[in-house]
Chain A
Amino acid sequence: MIATAGLAALWFAAALAVLQLFSGFLALRQPDNPLTPVVRPLAMAQAGLVAFAFLCLIIVFVQTDLSVALVAANSHSAKPMLYKVAGAWGNHEGSMLLWVTIMALAGGFVALLEKRLPEPTLLATLGSQAFVSLGFYAFLLLASNPFARLDPVPAEGNGLNPLLQDPGLAFHPPTLYVGYVGLSVAFSFAVGALLTREVSPNFARAMRPWVLGAWIFLTLGITAGSYWAYYELGWGGWWFWDPVENASLMPWLAATALLHSVSVLASRNALRAWTVMLGVVAFAMSMVGTFLVRSGVLTSVHAFAVDPTKGTFILALLAINIGAAFVIFALRAGTVSEGQRFAIVSRESALVFNNVMLSAVLGIVLLGTLYPLVAEAMGAQVSVGPPYFNPATAVFVVPMLVVMGIGPLLRWRRDKLGRIKHFLVLPALVLAGVAIWLSLRGVHLMPLLGIALGTMLLMVALVPLKGRRLRTVTLPLWGMVVAHFGIGVALLGIACDSAFSTEKLVAARVGETVSVGPWLIRLGRIEPITGPNWTALEATLNASYGGGSTSELKPQARSFWTPVQQTNESAILTRWNGQLYTVLGEEAEDGRWQLRLWWKPFVTLIWLGGALVALGGALALLGRVLSDLRRFIAIDKIAYRRQQQGRL
Chain B
Amino acid sequence: MSFPAQHDGKSVVSLRDVSLRYGKVVGVDHVSLEIPRGILVGLIGPDGVGKSSLLSLITGAHAMQEGDLQVLGGDMRDQAHRTKICPRIAYMPQGLGKNLYFTLTVEENLQYFARLFGHDAPERRRRIDRLTKSTGLYPFLNRPAGKLSGGMKQKLGLCCSLIHDPDLLVLDEPTTGVDPLARRQFWDLIDNIRLEQPGMTVIAATAYMDEAQRFDWLVAMDSGKILDTGTTQEFFAKTGKDNLDAAFIQLLPEEKRSGHTDLVVPPLEFDENEGYAIEAEGLTQRFGNFTAVDHVSFKIRRGEIFGFLGSNGCGKTTTMRMLTGLLPATEGVAKLFGKQVGADTMPVRKNLGYMTQIFSLYVDLTVRQNLTLYARLYQIPEEKVKASVDEVMARYLLNDYANATPRSLPMGIRQRLSLAAAVIHHPQILILDEPTSGVDPVARDLFWSQIIELSRRDRVTIFVTTHFMNEAERCDRVSLMHAGKSLACDTPAQLVKQRGCESLEAAFIGYLEDADPLANAVNQMEKDVPAEKEEKKSHSKLWEKINAFFSFRRWYSCVWRETLELMRDPIRATLALFGAMILMIVMSLGMNLDVEHLTFAVLDQDQSELSQDYALNIAGATRYFNERPPLQSYDEIETRMRSGDISLAVVIPPRFAKDLQGGKKPEIAFFVDGAMPIRANTIDGYVYGVHKQWVKKYVRARYSGEHPPAESTLDIKIRYRYNPDVLTLPTMVPFTIPMMLIMIPAILSALAVVREKEQGSIINLYVTPLTKAEFILGKQLPYVLFSIVSALLMVMIGVTIFDVPIKGSALLLAVSLIIYCFIATGIGLLASSVTRSQIAVLFMTLFGTMVPAISFCGMVNPVDSLPGMSRFIGTIYPTTYMLLISRGVFNKALGFVDLWQPLLVLLITLPIVMFFSIILQKKQES
A and B assemble together: no
Residue numbers of B with Cβ under 8 A of A are none
